[in-house]
């Protein structure tokens, strides 16, 4: 069993052609249980690329990223940060939903393994090269570690303006900035008394990603 999407990459690296090729990716075993590949979606020349972890239950059914509860919170936070969603391209580090079944019924999200994140990374890097965003926002540790390395800690560096590491060997001009923050589902699940504060910090991180953008 191959554990990389690399053999599935098309010669033509346009978003449409990448999405078509990704729909039959068997680069790891997650395709077996998922309903479909959920490729990125949004403006093909978006100045802001938002990268989540993996599609959730709704995304797996609808075939689009961020259409479930986390996506609704993200949409509200973008609005509060003054970011027009039309200026974003939304995608995930892993393109298939990974889950277990509770009592054979409800599908419960499972975190993708490092092997699965690495296997799927070629799609994400190609999306970055195709969209050439001014800023990439990593939503949560899985996205951040896919692009910034396994030693990266969101808690230590959230909201900071960073760059893609050179060892990713990316060919993107001008070089995108990278900002990492928490995953919106962490706020959806947050039942603590600090929820409002945590939501406000998330919006602040999105604002810091937006600052300095040419067109926003």
- Binding interface with ligand URA (CB under 6 A): 52-56, 59, 65-66, 68, 70-71, 92, 185
CA nearest to 116, candidates 182, 181, 186, 53: 53
Under 8 Å CB-to-CB from 207, ≥6 apart: which residues?
81, 82
125 Cα distance to chain centroid: 11
Pairing of strands 48-52, 88-92: parallel
How far apart (Å, rounded) are the C-alpha atoms in residues 17 and 117?
A: 21
Least Å distance between CB 212 and ligand URA? 25
| Residue at shortest CB range from ligand URA | 52
Residue 114 or 175 having the CB closest to ligand URA: 114
Residue 88 or 185 having the CB closest to ligand URA: 185
Least Å distance between CB 92 and ligand URA? 5
How far apart (Å, rounded) are the C-alpha atoms in residues 64 and 50?
A: 13
Least Å distance between CB 66 and ligand URA? 4
Residue 70 or 171 having the CB closest to ligand URA: 70
Residue 37 or 54 having the CB closest to ligand URA: 54
């Amino acid at each position: 069993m191959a554990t990389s999407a690399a053999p599935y990459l098309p010669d033509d690296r346009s978003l449409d052609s990448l999405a078509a090729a990704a729909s039959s990716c068997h680069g790891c075993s997650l395709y077996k249980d998922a309903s479909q590949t959920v490729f990125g979606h949004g403006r093909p020349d978006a100045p802001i690329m938002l990268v989540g972890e993996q599609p959730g239950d709704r995304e797996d059914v609808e075939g689009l990223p961020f259409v479930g509860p986390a996506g609704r919170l993200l949409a509200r936070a973008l609005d509060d940060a003054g970011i027009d969603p039309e200026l974003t391209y939304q995608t995930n580090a892993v393109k298939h939903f990974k889950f277990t079944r509770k009592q054979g019924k409800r599908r419960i999200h499972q975190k993708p393994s490092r092997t699965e994140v690495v296997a799927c990374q070629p799609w994400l890097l190609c999306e970055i090269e195709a969209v050439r965003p001014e800023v990439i926002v990593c939503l949560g540790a899985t996205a951040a570690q896919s692009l910034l390395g396994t030693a990266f800690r969101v808690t230590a560096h959230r909201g900071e303006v960073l760059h893609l590491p050179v060892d990713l060997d990316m060919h993107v001009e001008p070089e995108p900035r990278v900002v990492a923050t928490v995953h919106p589902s962490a706020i959806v699940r947050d039942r603590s008394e600090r929820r409002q504060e945590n939501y406000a910090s998330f919006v602040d991180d999105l604002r810091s990603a937006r600052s300095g953008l040419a067109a926003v």
